[in-house]
Copies of this chain bind each other. A is one copy, B any other.
């Protein structure tokens, strides 16, 4: 897949992996839901096209950000989860949320969550990481 590296800059290398319009939305879904099926991603508000979703999931898996797991209930279903590398994107995600809060009008529920985050950023982070790691 997209394997060429534009430079050695950490920002550039990171963008080469997840710097498109969709990857971080997939990661976001997994940070909220902890685990998602293929269909769950398709249901998100942004309405990602199914071929794009398949490509992105493959890319994120190749890059060790998400992992595919067997669904306990059915062989027809697949579970996607964040790896440690994916979970480590949480601080970036939080900062994006905080930036967006300053410059966009957010849904009330998200505002509430951000209030909680700002109250105790480190605490929130640690708690969320723990939850995402639990099997």
Contacts and interface: CB of A to CB of B under 8 A. Distances in A.
A107 B9 CA distance: 8
| Size category of the binding interface on chain A | 35 or more
A24 B15 CA distance: 9
A24 B13 contact: no
Nearest to A88: B99
The binding surface of chain A is classed by DSSP as: helix
Query: Chain copies in the assembly?
Result: 2
Given A9-B28, A9-B46, A110-B9, A91 B98 contact: yes
A88 B100 contact: no
Given A12-B25, A20-B20, A46-B6, A96 B106 contact: no
Contacts of A15: 21, 24-25
23 contacts: A6-B46, A7-B46, A8-B45, A8-B107, A9-B28, A9-B45, A9-B107, A9-B110, A10-B97, A11-B96, A11-B100, A12-B45, A13-B100, A13-B104, A14-B96, A14-B100, A19-B19, A19-B20, A19-B21, A20-B21, A91-B98, A91-B99, A92-B92
